[in-house]
Chain A
C-alpha cells in the first residue's frame, strides 16, 4: 500500500499539498482527479521522493520512502523524458542499462501491442506514440506500483483506447496503479478507487463500485457535488 500521511508541500508561500492523507492499494487502480493545480502531479512526485515534503510522510508498504522506492515504484511522467535524437530501440537499451528491474520480454511484448517501430526517432514520434513509449518504459519495470501522470491527456481517441486496454490486461494485474487525470470520461469503469483533490486537499476518497452500489452515483456525479458546491 502507498500512503500519504498528512502530507504538506509548500512552494514559498504557496501551499500545494495541505495535510493530505490518502491510500492506494496494491492490485487496484487508484485515480487522482482534480483540475490543474489541485496538487495531483506534486503528490506523485512526493511519492517518488522527487520533491521533499514540508510536512507529513509518504509510506510505501509501511516504510518511509528511501532509495528502495525506485525498485518498488515506477513513475511515468506526463512527457517522455528521453533525448529526442534517440531511436525507440536506443531508449529501451538505455532503460535496460539503468534499471536492474527492467523486463526486456515485457518491453518487446508492449512494442508489438502498441505497434511502435523500434527504428523511429523520439523526435519524430506523434504525441500518441510518445505517450505509448513513455508508458512502455514504466510498465516494463518489474515494480509493485506504477504511477502515471495524465496518461490520457492530449492524445487521440484510438491511442487513448489502446492505453486504456492496458488497464484491463495482465500487464497491470496484481500491481498497484496511481494515475492522475483532470477528466475521468471513458476510464470511469476501469478504475477501482477515486480520490478527488482540490487545492491540495482530499475532498472525497471512495471505491467506485461501492459508490454506485450504495448511492447510485457515477464518479462524475460525485465530482459535480464536490467541484460545483
Chain B
C-alpha cells in the first residue's frame, strides 16, 4: 500500500512449490547479476518489499535474513539495508546464476546427444546474435 520512489525491484511471479523467501532471494540475485541493483545501493525496507511483491511481511523478513547470512546485503544499525560492495560476493552471484542456467540447459539437451563442439557452435551463434541485437536496440 505504500510505494517509495525506488523501482529497481519488479514483481516476480512466484511458484507455490519452492519456498517463497528463496524465490525472493533469487529475484534479488538476478537483479544484482544483471546490474539492476548496484553494489552499495539501498534496497526497500522489509515492509515496502512485502507490499510491492505481495508477500507476507514474515516472508520478506526471512528473505532479508537469508540475504544477510549469504552476505548479499548489509544492514548497519537502523540504516536501510544495502547491496554489498564485496566484489567477491557479487561475482559469485553471477557465477551461481550462470551455473544454474547452464545446468538446466545441459539437462534439457543431453538427450539429443549432439557432439559438444556442434552444441557450442550453436550456442555461440545464438548468444552472439542476441548480444549484438541488444546493442543495436539500445538508444
B7 interfacial contact with A, CB 8 Å: no
B136 interfacial contact with A, CB 8 Å: no
A218 with B16: CB separation less than 8 A: yes
B20 with A189: CB separation less than 8 A: yes
In whole angstroms, what is the CA distance A113 to B3 when docked?
A: 13
Chain A residues with Cβ under 8 A from B47's Cβ?
169-170, 173
In whole angstroms, what is the CA distance A210 to B91 when docked?
A: 30
B37 interfacial contact with A, CB 8 Å: no
Residues of A in contact (CB 8 Å), total 28
Q: A165-B1, A165-B51, A168-B50 are in contact. Are A212 and B57 (CB under 8 A)?
A: no
In whole angstroms, what is the CA distance A165 to B2 when docked?
A: 10
B16, B17, B55, B57: the one contacting A173 at CB < 8 Å is B57
Residues of B in contact (CB 8 Å), total 21
Which residues of B, 12-71, contact A by the 8 Å Cβ criterion?
A: 14-21, 47, 50-51, 53-59, 62
Which residues of A, 166-186, contact B by the 8 Å Cβ criterion?
A: 166-173
Q: Whose C-beta in chain B lies nearest to the C-beta of A191? A: B56
A164, A171, A209: the one contacting B20 at CB < 8 Å is A209
A28 with B58: CB separation less than 8 A: yes
A219 interfacial contact with B, CB 8 Å: yes
Q: A189-B56, A189-B59 are in contact. Are A168 and B51 (CB under 8 A)?
A: yes
A77 interfacial contact with B, CB 8 Å: no
Q: Whose C-beta in chain B lies nearest to the C-beta of A164? A: B54
Q: A168-B50, A189-B20, A212-B20 are in contact. Are A113 and B1 (CB under 8 A)?
A: yes
Shortest distance from the beta carbon of A118 to any chain B beta carbon, whole Å:
19
B14, B18, B54, B58: the one contacting A216 at CB < 8 Å is B18
Q: A113-B1, A168-B50, A169-B1 are in contact. Are A217 and B58 (CB under 8 A)?
A: no
B56 with A29: CB separation less than 8 A: yes
Most chain A CB atoms below 10 A, which of B2, B15, B51, B59: B59
Chain B residues with Cβ under 8 A from A188's Cβ?
16
A221 interfacial contact with B, CB 8 Å: yes
Shortest distance from the beta carbon of B106 to any chain A beta carbon, whole Å:
22
B17 with A169: CB separation less than 8 A: no
Shortest distance from the beta carbon of B112 to any chain A beta carbon, whole Å:
27
Q: A192-B56, A209-B59, A209-B62 are in contact. Are A169 and B51 (CB under 8 A)?
A: yes
Most chain B CB atoms below 10 A, which of A28, A172, A209: A209
Shortest distance from the beta carbon of B20 to any chain A beta carbon, whole Å:
5
Q: A165-B1, A189-B59 are in contact. Are A212 and B17 (CB under 8 A)?
A: yes
B1 with A189: CB separation less than 8 A: no
Supply 12 A–B pairs (Cβ within 8 Å), ascending by A: A113-B1, A165-B1, A167-B56, A168-B50, A171-B1, A189-B14, A190-B54, A190-B55, A190-B56, A209-B62, A213-B19, A218-B17
Beyond the given A189-B16, A209-B62, A219-B16, could you list 19 further A-B residue pairs with CB under 8 A, ordered by the A residue number? Answer: A29-B56, A113-B1, A165-B1, A166-B1, A168-B50, A168-B53, A168-B56, A169-B47, A170-B47, A172-B57, A189-B54, A191-B56, A192-B58, A209-B59, A212-B16, A212-B20, A216-B17, A220-B16, A221-B17
